[in-house]
Structure formats: structure tokens, C-alpha cells
Amino acid sequence: MHLKLPLLLMLGLNALLCTMQSHAAETYQRCSEQQQEQIIQKFKLLTHKFDQTDVKTYKSCINLDQQQKIQLIAISQPIAYQDYNDMEHDLNLYLIDSSSNKILQRYKDPSSHITDAERYDGVKLHTTKFSTLTNTHVVGVETGSSHEGGFSYRHNNLALFKIDSKQPIKEIFSGIGTDDSGYVNASCGQDNPSSEVKRILVLSNQLSNGLQNIVLKEQKNQIIGNENTCKVKRNTFKQQQTLKFNGKEYKLQHHNLLGIDPF
């Protein structure tokens, strides 16, 4: 059976698991579509500047409390547009108290997200809690990009933000790809030469400077094709490291990360 890599990646995009050793992952509740749209309209979070074009606005919302009074919402909307292959998006996070109709905090990404040869695929808030400490919210914010044709690839970036109603929203981990992949079309009917790197973040019981350590686990699956024999070779590589909070941010112990092959 030929490898349908793009389909597998779409199915695996939500495979990020974050567990506290043997315990089940704790999660936030995603906002309903109605709740999300009510918040956006109430606080007038959209500009509507490019409504008459084919460009997308990306929205994602989670409830930070069980009473659904406090929400975090991510909005990425176009700020420049020429055509579908030439556009630019911003990214803003809003901490909302919907019970008192207040925007408690706002974060504006200093970088923009550009679509040219590479397509920007939007933003998503993760429901997994990246802190299980009392009254401490660490939220994962994922952005993605992709390219199809020739060497096709997909890349995402999962960054971590500390959320506090009394403090500015702060990025405490600049991010890492949790679902990266690339492939080229096979020349003689075998599985497509490809590589994919999956990463999961696992919470530890140990603390560093007030936040839990995070174990970063990586697995790379590789398919190498031989055009002369039309045979393929499959390889799997694994490694892990522990991320520790230094009081300002989480830092990688080393940057010798597994990566997808450029073919």
C-alpha cells in the first residue's frame, strides 16, 4: 500500500499528548462556536478589512475555568493582501472576562505570518494544560505552514504562554515543531520517500523556578527510496531531553534536534 502521508498527517495533527507521568492529561474546554462568535462580536475583535476576498481569518478559543467566565481567544487575521499566494496575517491573544465584559490582557505577536511560496495554515489553542499547578495557566499556541509541489512539507510551531489576569501575557517557550513532515513523489511506484518528526511534551513532577519541568520526546520516521532497485528502507530514530524553566523561559538543553530530510 502506498503511503498517503498528507492524509496521515491531517489525522495525526491532534496527536499531541501531555501527561503528568502516569496520570491522564488535564485539559481545558474548547469554546463552542456560538460562545466564540459572541465574544468576538461583543469585543469587536475583527477588522473585516478583507471580508470581500478569499483570505481566511483564523480563530481559536478555550475556557480557562469550569464556570466558563474566563476565556483565552487567539485571532489571526489578514493585515496585507495581494492574492491568495501573497498575504500577511497578524496574531493576537486576548484574555477575556466574559462575566464582567472586560478584556483583561492582550498579547500581539511581534512577528507576522506570511504566505508566499509557503502557505500559512493558521493558529490553534491547545486544550492540553502545560501546567497542573494551582492557579497557574500555561497554554500552548500552535501555528502552522505548508508547501505542496516538488518537495512537499508541513511544519507547525507550538509555543507556550503563561496566562495571568494580573500580569501581561508572556511567551515562555518560543516553540518547537510537534508534527513536521516532508516527502517527494516516488519515481517507480514504491512508497514516497519521506520523513516525519513527531514530538510530545510530557509534564514532570519536578519544578524549576516555579514551573514544572517538561520532557521533550522526539521520534523520526524515515522512508528512503532507491530509484535503481525500487526498494525502500525504513528507519526510526528517538531521543529526548528535559526543558527547565529558568525564571523567564523554557530553554532547550541542546539544539541537536531530529529534523525532516530535504531529499
CB 78 within 8 A of CB 57: yes
Question: Could you give the number of structural domains in the chain?
Answer: 1
Domain assignment present for residue 20? The answer is no
239 vs 198: CA distance, rounded Å: 11
pTM of the model: 0.84
8 Å CB contact between 166 and 70: no
| Residue 135 falls inside a structural domain | yes
Residue 57 maps to a domain: yes
Q: Does 257 reside within a domain?
A: no
Q: Is residue 171 part of a domain?
A: yes
Q: What is the mean pLDDT of residues 7-36?
A: 60
For 141-160, the pLDDT digits (tens) are 999 988 777 777 788 999 99
CB 237 within 8 A of CB 223: no
> What pLDDT is stored for residue 114 in this prediction?
77
- Rounded to whole angstroms, the Cα distance separating 219 from 196 reads 8
CA dihedral 163, 166, 167, 171 (to 10 degrees): 10
Q: State the residue range of the domain holding 147.
A: 5-15+26-251
Is the predicted pLDDT of residue 19 greater than 60, yes or no?
A: no
Residue 255 has a pLDDT of: 87
- For residue 261, being part of any structural domain is answered with no
- Report yes or no on 260 lying in a domain: no
Calpha distance 110→83 (Å, rounded): 23
Euclidean distance between CA atoms 98 and 13, whole angstroms: 30
262 inside domain = no
- Provide the 3-class DSSP secondary structure of residue 42: helix
